[in-house]
A and B are shown apart, each in its own frame.
Chain A
Amino acid sequence: MTQPLIEIRSAPHLKAAKSVETIMRHVVYSLLPICAFYIFQYGISALASILVVTIACLLTERALISTGTQAGRLSDFSAVITGLLLALTLPPGFPLWMGAVAGVVAIALGKALFGGIGFNVFNPALVGRAFVQAAFPTAIATYTPSFLAGRFTEFIPSSLALPLMIPAGAAEWLKAKQFDALAGATPLAKWKFDGVVVNADELLTSLSGHMAVGPAPALILLCGAYLAARRFMDWRIPVAILGSAALTAWLLFAIDPGRYPNPFFMLFSGGLILGAVYMATDMATSPVTPKGMWVYGALIGLLTVVIRYYSGLPEGVMYAILIGNAASPLIERITQPTPFGRGVSLGRTRKRASYPLNPGYISREEAGAVTPKKRFLPRKPKK
């Protein structure tokens, strides 16, 4: 008789359907409407930027995975997320070759260097962005107004700059389109350098006028809510970041309303919403413990406001998240969960329990029981 072929595995023998690919794929799905809105704002320049950056990320990932030195596969979609997020943080008219450099750096230095998916310490997209911010400080600060006429047929001139060449300035091109040079400044830069505060409701939809802003915060929050509801993202981190940023901004606003803008402006301007919902929530670089997530989020929110107010830079989300990433192993260590039966709740009972713990004790003798008489029973070992 031939023995039937039986497989031996260790328990559990069931497995939930959610896999790394599913998580990453759904994050990509949720990013698509945001990308579409960004393209609607800035036209083919934005489309080209998203494509170039994402393809650069994917090619780098492919090349580095083939060396066999890092975990993961191309089909896990994580490089797509990095590419899309990176493109969304760059100005729409960012020279495409610089975008490609950012993509390569994001994957190579931000992720592969540490060993691939799951091992990276910093959010790869932000590593890419930090690199190009240091390397190309002018280009990354050059925004253009949104909703320009002819944006679907004409590139922003700086987009098509040749590699290693200084991109064409946008001032003349804007003048031809009857805009002044200030039109290209982001709301945060306008506030920082000119003291102009844009209304929060305008920022929320980014539909009014020709503001130089990223995708609408309202849309990002909506897409984030989808991810949180399907549990592809932890809701605690964005809530903690936005709550802590709003609280800090509100405190400062309450102290000196003349000097500090209102908290709503702080929340909806710049990249705070995108950073809070999509960047800081990167699973590998945020703490794994629930308490740690609150601490991590609160730290990022606080740092964002502090950098925006007290540094030379108008925007602080990127550095705040990178610092948060660096701190997250430490945060995780001091916020380990309390195991069942070891915490302070020991000895206390929950108020709404079905039965009282102690039934009003009756002694063993009253209950009709006596101490065991061990007749034939084997002797119990003495300790």
Chain B
Amino acid sequence: MKLLSYFRGGAFQRGVHPPSCKLTAERAIRRLPFPPRVTVPLSQHIGKLPRPIVKVGQEVLRGQPIAKSDDWLSVPHHAPLTGVVEFIGLRPGMRGTWVESIVIRAHPGATQEDLWGTPRDLSQALSGDILQAIWDTGMVGLGGAAFPTHAKLSVPKQAKVHTLVVNGCECEPYLTCDHRVMLEQADDLLVGIRYAMRATGAVRAIIGVEDNKRDAVAVLRQTIARAIEGGGFNEGEIHVEAVPTLYPQGSEKMLIMALFGAEMPAGGLPIALGMVVSNVGTLAALGKLLPAGQGLTERVVTVTGSGVARPGDYRVVLGTPLKFVLDYAGAPAVDEMDARQVILGGPMMGQAIGSLEVPITKGVSGVLVFRREDMQEREGRQTYPCIKCGECVESCPMGLNPSTLGMLAAKREYELMGERYFLSDCFECGCCTYVCPSNIPLVQQFRVAKQILREKAAA
């Protein structure tokens, strides 16, 4: 299989095929009810923490900016609900620590319409104006990394960008939010692509979609054909390409390899090849928000897993506590003392969280709930020493040697890992840990090693 796709041209080397488990691919996006209270953590992306610009007790409208920063890599936050600022202070965050957050209590009688934004015409706008407008929406990458979109789309003066790569791979098992967005918001997506192309100066856009989403490819092709007829795009300016289903195809480097057969230099950005990569969910949201001049107040989240009675893709107001989401989606017996796993993001790279008070933030693409029964099999697995089977070497998309790295990590030889075995190239996709028959937590070891190296470098 893997060999075949390699010769066909169109996949990167190695990678893994975890069971896809896309339970919710057939279900339309539904809106989750508005929660009585939302929690907006100030830290949702890299860059300096935005400062609250509202006070406790102040009335806010849905879509109104509530926090801003003067840092280039920082974006504003908008009030997800019309209501009253109830509290500004520490609340549980997804990493386990308590983080500075703004809590807003919804007005029971409010219609919760987006009232704040002013529509604007950006059809003739120049790059700088579009970037400004993107910054105003508070948009970050909705695929999970949560990198501020205006920073991603702004091209340094000396660099040139010719291609916008639109990432519709969604290679993580279980997640279907991008898939549904491509099916239901194809028009918004094209609008977003148009803006992104104008902002970056790209002359072509290529949408890469994994070939397990044939319906999305078909819908996008139809939409593009209509757009070309209507004059929105020129012929040959925008393409949709089905790329082989292989984890982690959704990584920038892997997608560029699959589409163009070119390796991105280690440690570099796609801009080095004249490309900018953005996720379909982000661009579709931009396409909707930019003309309306509104801020990002909600996103599509896949709520799924064996512990959820009504799995599906939900349009969730940012800041909704997980408990509210899970109650609505029917995670049985949330309140009982029942061991379970709740994961934000996909099962390969997602973050297991320890409290259901944690809110949905801009970077959360999925909520997975696994029952105790599903975890028992993994719990029974014994951890063996590395038997050097080589499975990890055969699966690492970055061509590293996780086996040797793991053994060095066990010996705490962190410098050697960084200097000779290219630890910094690892982007923690989890392939090595997924295949490891000895059940060694390789990725976790690498995370620890990287953190220690970072601390040493800072010291």
Contact = CB atoms under 8 A, between A and B. Distances in A.
A164 interface: no
A13 B374 CA distance: 11
B370 A8 contact: no
A346 interface: yes
Given A361-B162, A371-B128, A10 B422 contact: no
Given A4-B334, A381-B72, A118 B203 contact: no
B354 A6 contact: yes
Contacts of A234: 390
Interface stretch (B99-107, B279-287, B337-345): B337-345
B352 A343 contact: no
Contacts of A18: 391, 435, 437
A367 B201 contact: yes
A355 B353 contact: no
A342 interface: yes
A103 B204 CA distance: 68
B118 to A, nearest CB: 15
B349 A283 contact: no
Given A5-B337, A339-B399, A349-B260, A13 B390 contact: no
A9 B10 CA distance: 34
Interface stretch (B26-34, B56-64, B294-302, B379-387): B379-387
Interface in A125-174: none
Interface string A344-377: 0110111111111111011110011111111111
B173 interface: yes
Contact of A346 (B70, B263, B382, B435): B263
Nearest to B19: A14
B398 A339 contact: yes
Interface stretch (A68-76, A198-206, A298-306): A68-76
B337 A118 contact: no
Contact of A378 (B72, B173, B347, B439): B72
B132 A376 contact: yes
Contacts of A375: 128-129, 132
B167 interface: no
Given A11-B351, A353-B262, A378-B74, A2 B335 contact: yes
Interface residues of B, number: 116
Interface stretch (A261-269, A271-279, A286-294): A286-294
Given A10-B443, A358-B274, A350 B261 contact: yes
A116 interface: yes
A380 interface: yes
Given A13-B341, A289-B401, A337-B401, A284 B387 contact: yes
A356 B439 contact: no
B187 interface: no
Interface in B169-190: 173
B425 A10 contact: no
Interface stretch (A19-27, A182-190, A248-256): A19-27
A1 B335 contact: yes
A23 B447 contact: no
Interface residues of A, number: 81
B140 interface: no
Contacts of B348: 11-14
Q: Which of B12, B131, B382, B441 has the most CB of A within 10 A?
A: B382
Given A11-B352, A378-B72, A5 B384 contact: no
Contacts of B394: 290
Contact of A369 (B198, B204, B342): B198
B444 A338 contact: no
A15 B381 contact: yes
Nearest to B385: A118
A4 B336 contact: yes
Given A23-B389, A353-B262, A361 B274 contact: yes
A269 to B, nearest CB: 30
Contacts of B433: 12, 15
A159 B413 CA distance: 51
Contacts of B443: 10-12
A373 B128 contact: yes
A340 B199 CA distance: 30
Contacts of A355: 206, 239, 241, 259-260
B340 A5 contact: yes
B150 A377 contact: yes
Contact of A16 (B16, B260, B398, B404): B16
Contact of A359 (B163, B350, B447): B163
B389 to A, nearest CB: 5
Interface string A320-354: 00000000000010001111111101101111111
B117 interface: no
Contact of B204 (A73, A76, A351, A359): A359
14 contacts: A11-B345, A71-B385, A116-B385, A118-B385, A234-B390, A284-B387, A288-B393, A290-B393, A337-B401, A350-B262, A357-B274, A368-B198, A369-B201, A373-B127
The 4 A-B residue pairs with the shortest CB-CB distance in the complex, in nearest-first order = A353-B261, A352-B9, A350-B261, A373-B128
Interface of A: 1-16, 18-20, 22-23, 71-73, 76, 115-119, 234, 283-284, 286-290, 293, 332, 336-343, 345-346, 348-359, 361-364, 367-381
